[in-house]
Amino acid sequence: MSAFTADMASRTRELLTRFKLPTVAAQLIRRMTDAGQDAALPTLLQVFEAEADERAQRRTERLLRASRLPPGKTFETLERARVPRPVLAKLDELATGEFLDRADNILCFGLPGRGKTHAAAALGHALVQRGHAVLFSPTFRLVQELLAAC
Name the residue ranges covered by the structural domains of the chain. Answer: 6-66, 69-149
pLDDT tens-digit readout, 82-125: 889 999 999 999 999 999 999 998 888 889 988 999 999 999 99
What lies within 8 Å, CB to CB, of 29 at 6+ separation is: 4, 9, 12, 13, 38, 41
Q: How far apart are alpha carbons 101 and 132 in whole angstroms?
A: 11
CA gyration radius, the chain: 22
pTM of the model: 0.77
Q: 30-84: per-residue pLDDT in tens?
A: 999 999 999 999 999 999 999 999 999 999 999 999 999 999 999 999 999 988 9
Residues 123, 114: Cα–Cα separation, whole Å: 16
What pLDDT, on the 0 to 100 scale, is given for residue 16? Answer: 97
